[in-house]
Structure 1
Amino acid sequence: MNQVKTWLEQNKKSIQWLADEIGASHSLMEYILNGEHDLLPDQMVQIARVMGITLEELTAEADSDKNTSQINTSRMHANEVEIDASLVKRLLAAQFPQWAELPLKRVNSSGTDNVIFRLGEDMAVRMPRIESATGQAEMEQLWLPRLAPHLPLAIPAPLAIGVPDKGYPWQWAVYRWFKGEDAIVGRIDDLGQAATVMGQFVAAMQRIDLGDVTPPASSRGMSLAPRDIGVRKAIAELQEMIDQDMATLAWEAALKAPEWQGPAVWIHGDIHAGNLLIEQGRISTVIDFGCMGLGDPAWDMLFAWSILTAETREIFRAALQPDDATWARGRGYALSMGLFALPYYKDTNPMFAGVARCIIDEVLTDYRNGV
């Protein structure tokens, strides 16, 4: 919405300020202002009021923007394969003919590893974009049914796994469709309640003990130190987009936190706004467990800087009760994730780039405030 962007620039107001004014998340506002999501009616009323224009003027521009918006089909990775509805239909016809005639529609998603299609009313097809994302469905099919009884929120599991065919080189999967919108575009009515629920979810995951079964190690369960070179490179690439000096100081502070000395615990590994579904204003489902396994519990602190405010982060922290070192490492993991993602996805995935920018902003806000 160019009119809103121009107004913010002229009045020296930030996207975070506008998000706070209308009760939206920073990442959702990034998404809206990039033309990737429609404003809700109450948000339009509030933005028109803040800008001092009529609702009709704002509505006219929103309608114009809507006419030019479309599903993001940009290539995010140099080595990703071409995936379209025609390919998925051919795969379904060959391997799952019982579903081949159901309506198929590509979903506009912030996901970076997979392309998602809605299949009929009750299913989704998940197609890995890149080789590094392969094997996730098989791992989820093996482990998520074992984890589900221990967790307070719904989690997915594949209904069927397809094999390479029709020129597509990897396994792919059909899942049950979960209702709701992801937390980038879906509105959470009570962030405090969400903080408590997610604190309980992460704590429950950390307590899981499957007995003699040996769980996998998480791909993200390592310490902060191996990420140092990449983080500093990302900071250098983000000139004029972030406070580079502050980001460097925040990162160096996180590196000083003691490493995890306890036993590795179950972690999701990627709990951000794009991997949470919202239904009726509440978090209902946690999705995308491709990074799950045993690792440092600090990784699942990521949620705190992806969605929450400074005040509601304290609610999450109280519900989970991590030690100070784990919290500090978690802030470092969150910062590194945001710094890696923002330059990589800013042109090809504005929705996820908005999440990354929000994470960076929240981490730096805490650091400035000495939290």
Structure 2
Amino acid sequence: MHHDELSVPLETVRALVDAQFPEWRALPVSRVASQGTVNAIFRIGDRFAARFPLQPRAVEAARHWLECEAEAARELLGRTRFPTPEPVAVGEPGAGYPLPWSVQTWIPGVIATDRDPGESVAFAHDLAEFINDVRAIDTRGRVFSGQGRGGELRAHDSWMRTCFQHSETLLDVPRLRRAWAVMRQLPRGEYADTMTHGDLIPGNVIVADSRLAGILDVGGLGVADRALDLVSAWHLLEREPRQALRERLGCDDLEWERGRAWAFVQAMGVVWYYHQSNPAMSRMGRRTLTRIMADPPPA
């Protein structure tokens, strides 16, 4: 998926687990088929998941990132009735793998990519509950870091130009450019930033019987535009459940439109970037854009 992506063979994972966590030597290790783009995921027995970063970086920078992810996961743990992963351990480089890696608890279930909850109003209510639970976490004076999505929409103009350029043969770029020209002008508004999950896409959402059953990839928990988690409205929901989510959260027009804009930014990026290397992610982006443009923002 990335030009400099690291290889993580199963034999390497087995060797690292056996050497660094001998108490798990008797547990089976298996690769998890995943559409994730940041980590290779492996199960250790029934209770644990090992996550191996796919892109190279300095060892200490990678360790710091894993520690921040674990801190975020601990902060979210128990703050909502929906299961989320609990940090267990950090492994060291070795056996040919050059970076630290992490172990967390395994959350059982089926991801929304494989069992679409998009027509379920009950799922939308669950999702609204989770978003409200996250928003209720004390920011403790923290502010948006300035990295990634969650600040000013116009800060993403350069990235969007790149996306439009690479999408000329894939999407109706002139129409999408016009939509972005409207979205990028949305003001930040009077509402305060809140804690957000930051990446509520189908691959990070576990479902059971058309209800929310768990949330994955919680390491990005942090302070950002409160509209950021509204990306889930377009990534995960069809029209009626999407409206149910909005009503449950009490979103005003500005917050709702900013949520649509953040979903647009994310979707535009994944369509072209993963077109060849991760078709499922690319299709997710296309579906999100279809939902957004079926009910475009007011001019």
Q: Verify: 1:144 aligned to 2:69, yes or no.
A: no
The CA RMSD over aligned residues, in Å, is 2.2
Report if aligned partners of 2:72, 2:220 keep a CA contact under 8 Å in 1: no
Instruction: Give the distance between the partners of 1:154 and 1:85, measured in 2 at CA.
Output: 27
Q: 1:136, CA displacement in angstroms?
A: 4.6
Q: Verify: 1:350 aligned to 2:297, yes or no.
A: no
Q: 1:215, CA displacement in angstroms?
A: 7.7
Equivalent position SS for 1:297: coil
Equivalent position SS for 1:327: helix
Q: Verify: 1:316 aligned to 2:241, yes or no.
A: no
Partner of 1:57: none
Q: Could you report, residue by residue, the CA deviation over 1:193-243 in whole angstroms, capped at 9, with x for unpaired residues? A: 11111112112211211657x588474322111211221221232224222
Q: TM-score, normalised by structure 1?
A: 0.74
| Equivalent position to 1:93, from 18, 25, 37 | 18
Which one has the bigger helix percentage? 1
**1:203 corresponds to which letter in structure 2?**
N
Partner of 2:91: 162
Alpha carbons of 1:313 and 1:189: their partners in 2 closer, same or farther (altered >3 Å)? closer
**1:324 corresponds to which letter in structure 2?**
D
Alpha carbons of 1:87 and 1:237: their partners in 2 closer, same or farther (altered >3 Å)? same
Task: Pick which of 304-313 and 96-105 moved more.
Answer: 96-105
Q: Counterparts of 1:207-246 in structure 2 under 5 Å?
A: 207-209=136-138, 211=140, 217=145, 219=147, 220-246=149-175
Q: 1:325, CA displacement in angstroms?
A: 1.4
Report if aligned partners of 1:218, 1:267 keep a CA contact under 8 Å in 2: no
Gaps of 5+ in 1: 1-75
Q: Could you report, residue by residue, the CA deviation over 1:52-107 in whole angstroms, capped at 9, with x for unpaired residues? A: xxxxxxxxxxxxxxxxxxxxxxxx11122111111111111221011133212111
Q: Counterparts of 1:109-124 in structure 2 under 5 Å?
A: 109-124=34-49
| Equivalent position to 1:128, from 39, 45, 53 | 53
| Equivalent position to 1:305, from 218, 229, 234 | 234
Q: Counterparts of 1:14-25 in structure 2 under 5 Å?
A: none
Instruction: Give the distance between the partners of 2:253 and 2:114, measured in 1 at CA.
Output: 32
**2:67 corresponds to which letter in structure 1?**
E
Equivalent position SS for 1:270: coil
Q: Could you report, residue by residue, the CA deviation over 1:122-161 in whole angstroms, capped at 9, with x for unpaired residues? A: 2211111014694454223223233223223111122111
Gaps of 5+ in 2: none
Partner of 1:83: 8
Question: What percentage of aligned pairs have identical amino acids?
Answer: 30
Task: Specify the structure having the higher radius of gyration (Cα).
Answer: 1
**1:364 corresponds to which letter in structure 2?**
M
Q: Could you report, residue by residue, the CA deviation over 1:311-336 in whole angstroms, capped at 9, with x for unpaired residues? A: 21111111112222121111111111
Equivalent position SS for 2:219: coil
